[in-house]
Structure 1
Amino acid sequence: MKTMKTLSGVLLLSLMLADATLGDIQKRIIGGKDCNDKERLYHVRIEWLNGQGFHYQCGGSLISDQWVLTAAHCRPTENVIKKHQFVPHVYVVLGKHPGSGHVKGPVKIEATDTHVHPDQHDIMLLKLPESAKENTITPVNPPDCLTTPAKKRKTEDSGKTSELKLGDTVQIAGYGGTQADSDGNRVDVSTTLKCAEYEVVSCYNINIQQSIKKQHIFCTKRSKVDTCFGDSGGGVVFDGDQLYGVHQGGFLIACSSPGIVMDVCKYKDWIWKTTHIPTWEIKP
């Protein structure tokens, strides 16, 4: 397999979002399995540089050879930068999965532009300075927002919708905490990319911040499977390769409450107008 070209650089930050502790909203996979070597190659790690070296922060998805989709809260605020005393530079790292057999060391790509949703919703686009076509990574496919995703259903629904149905199975991936202790707190750290399947569930009666309720979200949960700190921004896919969500976060106690996901279909028009990626254009 061809070794990917290393592109080094820095993602310059604009610190616009409200302050929040990193533990409030970022999560990692618990109860999942190792992703196989042929899936989730588009998954990226987002790291910041502090005095002790790299510190892992978020996940993201390569949606074209020049664009990454992630969560807006993955960009540290000024207060967080001062508290943790790290250089306000963030690196987008490709090729961590499936590991050293895929590339030699981290592949760092400088994002020259940062685009947060104009209404400050928790979704963000990062533009790379040059094409990543020379890499061996294939971008994730966009969602089919004009028809009901019914490939894995026993019966096909009539009509058109941009939403997943309750009970649909989606997949999320990430690095980090993979176990919970006796009190339900997340522990341990994984060096391999973990994949886990979730069911789409109702967000009704879930204790969600008012600012998040005003955004376009859906919720996921599965018994004994959860996410933990670090997986925020990672892609939530349906049918293996269609990006229907960006993982926003959840709760501090493992497996206790549904996770919150930004509904990509509701933001597809903004993504298209920002990136002009042909496959993301909404056509009648």
Structure 2
Amino acid sequence: MALLKVLLLLGLGVSVNSAVSLQKRIIGGHDCADTERQYHVRLEGSNGTHMSLCGGSLIHPNWILTTDTCWKSETGWINVAKIDVHQGPGRWRAFRLRNNPVVYNPEGWRHDIMLLKIKKVANAPLGQLPDCSYRLKIGDTVQLAGEGATTTGPNNEQISNFAPATHLQCVDMPVVEASHFLPTYGRVFSAKARNKDVCYGDAGSAAVFNGKIYGVISPGVPRYACESAASIVDVCEYMEWIRARTGLK
């Protein structure tokens, strides 16, 4: 599955040798309020020459929820989680990720959702998991977020070589397709809005509804911005697994 995703990204014109690879950004959004998403985690990978950028959510003092694409397993890469991103440079807490990720793969292939275990974090806000007695339907509005640039290239082409934005970006998008099965990704729903999009690097960040994390942004994106709906992993489909792994009730 990992190889398939790399091939898909290469086919979309993404340079995996860029200064910041596999990056996404929020297009058509706005600065998240400082009181929002304080559980947001920046996930960075580096091999000394290249870097990768993703998002995640601290859902337990020991656990981050993200997408499986956000783990760099190649020799020489170091994975780091930055907590308290809202506090700004020099104030966040960085944790080197040494434990292997936990990925959902009951059928023998990896779904696009992952848990990262970290050293216990004290005094950090935690994201709330969904109330799955209510399932998202078409027309519901979810809030997505990310840390990349907010512009596109010529002909609205997505750009990959941008450092993280100075402030977390948020964007509201309505659900246009309810939960369904997508091969190689798992159970997902889709959101789309005119002149709004997520792109390389927002993968792993939360899709929020009524203040709760109902989804995790999936990394697959088209070459041009604002053309296709964003695919979002449906967290409700994986709650039994998340609770079993983390001990959350």
Whether TM-score is above 0.5 comes out as: yes
Supply the AA of the counterpart residue of 1:251: P
CA contact (8 A) 1:221 1:259 kept: yes
Q: Report the Cα offset of residue 186 of structure 1.
A: 2.5
User: Where does residue 184 of structure 2 map in the other structure?
Assistant: 211
Q: Name stretches of at least 5 consecutive residues in structure 1 with no aligned partner.
A: 1-15, 82-86, 149-162, 279-284
Percent identity (aligned): 37
Cα deviation code 1:57-100 (max 9, x no counterpart) = 2100000111100000112354xx6xxxxx22200111222414
CA contact (8 A) 1:178 1:186 kept: no
User: Where does residue 58 of structure 1 map in the other structure?
Assistant: 54
Secondary structure of 1:253 counterpart = coil
Q: Report the Cα offset of residue 128 of structure 1.
A: 1.2
Q: Name stretches of at least 5 consecutive residues in structure 2 with no aligned partner.
A: 13-21
- Indicate which of 236, 243, 246 corresponds to 1:265: 236
- Indicate which of 102, 106, 118 corresponds to 1:128: 118
The structure with the greater share of residues assigned to strand is 2
Q: Report the Cα offset of residue 252 of structure 1.
A: 2.1
CA contact (8 A) 2:79 2:96 kept: no
- Indicate which of 197, 212, 218 corresponds to 1:242: 212
CA distance in 2, matches of 1:243, 1:268: 11
Please say if 1:33 is aligned against 2:30.
yes
User: Where does residue 15 of structure 2 map in the other structure?
Assistant: none
Query: 4+ residue runs of structure 1 moved beyond 6 angstroms?
Result: none
CA distance in 2, matches of 1:48, 1:232: 13
Q: Report the Cα offset of residue 243 of structure 1.
A: 0.4
Q: What RMSD in Å do the two structures reach over aligned CA positions?
A: 2.5
| Pairing 1:1-284 to 2, within 5 Å after superposition | 17-18=2-3, 20-21=5-6, 27-52=24-49, 55-76=51-72, 78=74, 87-100=76-89, 104=91, 106-119=93-106, 120-129=110-119, 131-133=120-122, 135=123, 137-146=124-133, 148=134, 163-187=135-159, 189=163, 190-202=165-177, 210-212=183-185, 215-239=186-210, 241-249=211-219, 250-278=221-249
Secondary structure of 1:186 counterpart = coil
CA distance in 1, matches of 2:56, 2:43: 7
Supply the AA of the counterpart residue of 2:31: D
Residues paired across the two proteins, number: 230
Secondary structure of 2:240 counterpart = helix
CA distance in 1, matches of 2:58, 2:248: 12
Supply the AA of the counterpart residue of 2:227: S
Supply the AA of the counterpart residue of 2:57: S
Greater Cα radius of gyration, structure 1 or 2: 1
Question: Measured at CA, do residues 30 and 98 of structure 1 come closer, stay the same or move farther in structure 2, by a change above 3 Å?
Answer: farther
CA contact (8 A) 1:97 1:193 kept: yes
TM-score, normalised on structure 2? 0.83
CA distance in 2, matches of 1:266, 1:168: 18
User: Where does residue 16 of structure 2 map in the other structure?
Assistant: none
CA contact (8 A) 2:138 2:178 kept: no
CA contact (8 A) 1:58 1:230 kept: yes
CA distance in 1, matches of 2:127, 2:63: 11
